[in-house]
Structure 1
Amino acid sequence: METAETIARPKRNLKPYWITLAFIVLVVILLLPNPTDLPVMGQRALAILAFAVVLWMTEAVSYPVSSAMIIGLVAILLGLAPDMANPDVLLGTKAALKLALGGFSNSAVALVAAALFLAAAMQATNLHKRLALFILSKVGVKTGAIVFGAIIVSIVLAFFVPSATARAGAVVPILLGMVAAFGLPHNSRLGALLVITAVQSVSIWNIGIKTGAAQNMVAIGFIENEFGESVSWGAWFLYAAPWSIIMSVVLYFVMTRLIKPETQVVEGGKELIQGQLKELGPMKSSEKRLIIVAITLLLFWSTEEILHPFDTTTVTLIAITILLAPKIGVFDWKTVEKLIPWGTIIVFAVGIALGTILLDTQGAQWLSNKVFGAMGLENMPILATIALLSLFNILIHLGFASATSLSSALIPIFIALTTTISLDVNDVGFVLIQQFVISFGFLLPISAPQNMLAYGTGSFTVKDFIKSGVPLTIIGYLLILLMSATYWKWIGLL
């Protein structure tokens, strides 16, 4: 809570200092002697990565602005570097710019864009809100039942709304409305319990479903580029959903035991939900069409490479075309323009491009050898390797507000690591497991956008969030190790 002193003394703007620090880090790395086992382009790519990481961790500029800066630096610094294929000539800014913009041609970027359109369709029709209200209307008025309902809502929406922030934005206001209906303030124990449960469940199912979060598409993009393999929607679900199901059960028991609400029964909660459903009115024809498209899309996703040859991106783009079509669609382009966070697409594409540049210039391989080679990972058993990398992943996530940016920075390094470890493992599975851990956003409100959205409601404190985040992170980490030793080996992921 703010005191009179903190209100009177404005918060100092440190962003110019962070931007300055990012450029200092960039220049220092550029001025370091070039290692003999690292191409000049590789060293410059690592300098740009360090620059990006400082901006991403400090949020000195918005993510789209940082992306524009990265494009400019790639074009200039790599353009003026010796061409790896012919060191006697410079690569040239035109060729370097092509590398910087290469991420826009990646199919994973098209899938992220299509997913944003799908989320916008849900918002435009309010179908996600209707789904959430319908589920909550069926669970009862006991607080334990509402906690269970909040988890179920997050799970169901994860299948149809490929945006963690949109899912949280649908369910959090409803839960706070139930708290208000009981006459409690939004920052009551009940408010904290319900809202934290909802956003933690959103984070859990970011892992369980391939289309649940943009950072998953980052990993898929790199995997397709480097290994020439794709991970179907159904395969991802087979790998990750059991982890998410177990963690959803864990979440229920952690939340109901750690945060004790003021009441065990939310009197009037059911009436409030029924009233909100009544306000929405009868289901509109646009909602019915969206349901048909969403269920059809889910069927195509889940049967990819089993019943048909169409990949996730292609069927999603076709679905968006139908949703935008006159007469049979659910919204028009003017509506879409206002609902799509266009900067997300730019950030995603540039992140993919930067990661690909790191791999193509051998910067990722060199960094992987120096960092993880010093840890002796190449001689460790696979479970110990996963344990150390996962712990590293969790700790570094404390400085990142965006899992998408974290994936852009780390997945290329993990891919490079697969070339140095001597163990006979499935490289794709090894990288995927680390991607699952990258999506851990349980510890702090700043760890994920959906957490920040919920924190902005003032319904809980940082201490409340950490109280639930610590056990969830520890249990989730141990479950990653357990499944690495058992289930994922049995089904061939490792």
Structure 2
Amino acid sequence: MPAWSKALLPLLLAMLILLLPVPDGLDPHAWRFFAIFVAVIAGLILEPLPGAVVGLSAVVLVAIAAPWVLFSPTQLATTNFNSAGTAFRWAIAGFGNSTVWLIFSAFMFAAGYEKTQFGKRLALLLVKKMGKNTLTLGYAISFADLLLAPFTPSNTARSGGTIFPIISNLPALYGSKPNDPSARLIGSYLMWVAIAATCVTSSMFLSALAPNLLATALVKSQIDISISWATWALAFLPVGVILLLLTPLLAYWFYPPTIKSNEEVPRWAATELAKLGPMQLKEWLLVSFVCLALVLWIFAGKYIEPALAALLVICLMLYTKVLDWSDITGNKAAWNTLVWFATLVTLAGGLSDVGFIRWLGVLGGQWLGDLSPVAATLILVIAFYLLHYLFASSTAHTTALLPVTLAIGAAIPGMNLLIFSLLLVTSLGLMGILTPYGTGPSPIYFGSGYLPAHDYWRLGTIFGLLYLAVLLLVGYPWLQFLF
């Protein structure tokens, strides 16, 4: 597709939406904002410009056009309401999001692994033990994430900050390079397995994803149902086991690596390990800093924000010369991702700010009022899951949609609210696989250079629908049996 058509199609899509009548009950400014948001999503898919440029352009456009797009007439008529200042604060709000900075920190952790060669050492050890078969490497990545999941309530910290820096060293060992046809040798497969596996483990445990904890609090406040750690784990157990075992194999089928096995690679890895020699001081320092980050992420979440803990570790790496300041300023991928994800968080939050999400909830309640509890449950869970395309984070999705969806479900006679709420909250991790911005680690793997946009969107759709199918076909009957 020519570059000019990639740029024109999102604009035409926005114009088409703007020409349609504003739906009943929705403010015109919210409809205009929705048109811009849809154009942004189209732009991210077609990539006429880098994703960060698309997101930044949209935020600037909305902020400039705030009186017609972001603010209602009532807000503008308020005495002393400074629309210009408020619009600017809205535009930069995403840069104050903790997940955005946790993602940025993950790139710095990866730089530390690379510079000290500790990442290469770990990769060589992994290849030495399991490198004979690419599929077993996929399972090793999945199980490593599973071991960390119950104790790390941030999948960005767990996968982006711990798993990614290690596996990013693996493809080069096989001659697989980012942004190159050789990426499909093995790098693309490993990166996709890593992001897909962390989406599964994020749903397996209450403590494996920060929005999970928020979701249980919202369920308690909205419909007075308490969901314990054990209840959550038991409710998702068969779905989680099936998906964790299937994910590396499904990736092997749908996104096959060119390199299937290589008997020489483990022997080569052993030789390379011998060349590295014993661990150096900076490697030990890096290990201690990473362990400190894990301890803070797991045990000190009440006292220190995970992103702040990550920034503390970056400072320690700078003080001890594990990293130099030039390593920070010169990391183009990290800064690109920071701008890209921050602007998406802002735009996604804007859908709630203008009242679009609230209107969608009211409309859904009117449509589903006469359905049976089972049909309503299936429709609401599917809608809740697929609407994640509109959100740049699971936290934003949970905050905006979960209370509305619970309210709709509670209004339907005969609805088993415990089963309904469990289906909703355990889908939060799974839905992160849908888009390159769907969950914290997504931009990290998307920005690795091994997962082109068209591949990511295609695989996200395939795996997203498969995950949803297993949740409904296995998880729903299981919950009916339990409760």
- The residue aligned with 1:271 is 267
The secondary structure found in structure 1 opposite 2:409 is coil
Match of 1:169 in 2: 168
Structure 2: which amino acid aligns with 1:72? V
- Counterpart CA distance in 2 for 1:151 and 1:87 is 58
| Structure 2 counterpart of 1:336 | 328
- In the alignment, residue 173 of structure 1 is paired with which amino acid? A
Aligned residue among 412, 421, 425 for 2:408: 421
Count of aligned pairs: 433
Counterparts of 1:344-363 in structure 2 under 5 Å?
344-363=337-356
Higher helix share: 2
**In structure 1, distance between residues paired with 2:135 and 2:219:** 41
Do the aligned residues in 2 keep the contact of 1:136 with 1:273 (CA within 8 Å)? yes
CA deviations 1:116-160 (Å, max 9, x no partner) are 32222222223222212112212374x3xx532343146537846
Amino acid at match of 2:327: T
The verdict on how the C-alpha distance between 1:312 and 1:263 changes in structure 2, with shifts beyond 3 A counting, is closer
| SS of equivalent to 1:316 | helix
In structure 1, give the amino acid aligned to 2:2. N
**Structure 1 segments unaligned to the other structure (5+ residues):** 1-11, 178-184, 398-402, 457-461
Matched residue, 1:439: 433
TM-score by length of 2: 0.70
1:201-228 per-residue CA deviation (whole Å, 9 max, x = no partner) reads 21233315669xxxx9996899799999
CA distance in 1: counterparts of 2:256 and 2:6, whole angstroms = 40
Distance 1:389 1:209, change over 3 A: same
Q: What letter corresponds to residue 170 of structure 1 in structure 2?
A: N
Name the counterpart of 2:86: 95
Amino acid at match of 2:344: G
* Letter paired with 1:320: I
Equivalent residues in 2 for 1:289-300 (5 A)? 289-300=285-296
| 1:171/1:310 CA distance change after superposition, 3 Å | same
Deviation at 1:355, TM superposition (A): 1.9
Q: 1:392 to 1:354 in 2, by over 3 A?
A: closer
Cα distance in 1, alignment partners of residues 47 and 481 from structure 2: 39
- Shift, 1:304, TM fit: 4.3
| Separation in 1, partners of 2:192, 2:272 | 24
| Contact 1:390 1:437 (C-alpha < 8 Å) held by counterparts | no
- Name the structure 2 match of 1:324: 318
Secondary structure, in 3 states, of the residue corresponding to 2:169? helix
Matches within 5 A, 1:184-223: 198-208=190-200
- State the Cα RMSD in Å: 5.0
Distance 1:257 1:95 in 2: 49
Residue 129 of structure 2 corresponds to residue 138 of structure 1: yes
Contact 1:355–1:409 (CA<8 Å) still a contact in 2?
A: yes
1:265, CA displacement in angstroms? 7.1
2:240 matched to 1:249? no
TM-superposed CA distance for 1:436, in Å, is: 1.8
Note closer, same or farther for the CA distance 1:38–1:224 as it changes in structure 2 (3 Å cut): farther
TM-score normalised to structure 1 length: 0.69
CA contact (8 A) 2:102 2:310 kept: yes
Question: In 1, Cα distance between the equivalents of 2:219 and 2:350?
Answer: 15
Contact 1:79 1:91 in 2 (8 A): no
Inter-partner Cα distance in structure 1 for 2:371 and 2:305: 35
Q: Which residue of 2 aligns with 1:364?
A: 357
- 1:287 to 2:274 alignment: no
Change in CA separation of 1:195 and 1:299 when aligned onto 2, cut-off 3 Å: same
The letter for the 2-side match of 1:334 is S
Work out whether residues 103 and 349 of structure 1, in 8 Å CA contact, stay in contact via their aligned partners in 2: yes
Deviation for aligned residue 1:412: 7.1
Q: Is the 1:44–1:78 Cα contact (8 Å) retained in structure 2?
A: no
Per-residue CA deviation, residues 365-420 of structure 1 (Å, 9 max, x unaligned), is 22455578657798644751465237746xx97xxxxx985869976764474265
- Whether the 8 Å contact between 2:212 and 2:428 is mirrored in structure 1 is no
8 Å contact from structure 2 (residues 209, 429) kept in 1: no
Unaligned runs of 5+ in 2: 149-157, 222-228, 411-416, 437-441
Is residue 46–residue 358 contact of structure 1 (8 Å, CA) maintained in 2? yes
Give 1:266 shift: 3.5
SS in 2 for 1:61: coil
Cα shift readout 1:451-482 (whole Å, capped 9, x = no counterpart): 884478xxxxx8xx98x996x66653344333
Measured in 1, the distance between the counterparts of 2:256 and 2:311 equals 45
1:369, 1:420 within 8 Å by CA — same for their partners in 2?
A: no
For residue 42 of structure 2, what is the amino acid of its counterpart? V
- Tell me how far apart the structure 1 counterparts of residues 211 and 160 of structure 2 sit (CA, whole Å): 19
Alignment equivalent of 1:74, drawn from 49, 62, 83: 62
Give per-residue Cα distances to partners, 1:26-50, cap 9 Å, x unaligned: 3444455445522343223212212
Partner of 1:63: 51
220-229 vs 309-318, which moves further: 220-229
* Structure 1 position 97, deviation (Å): 1.9
- Contact 1:25–1:51 (CA<8 Å) still a contact in 2? yes
> Once the 2 structures are TM-superposed, how far is the Cα of residue 347 of structure 1 from its aligned partner?
1.7
More contact order relative to length (CA 8 Å, sep ≥ 6):
2
Task: Give the corresponding residue for 1:8.
Answer: none
Give per-residue Cα distances to partners, 1:229-280, cap 9 Å, x unaligned. 9xxxx99x96989866643422455578999999997432222111232343
Q: 1:419 to 1:346 in 2, by over 3 A?
A: farther
Q: 1:42 aligned to 30, 33, 50, which one?
A: 30
Q: Matches of 1:314 and 1:348 in 2, distance apart? A: 18
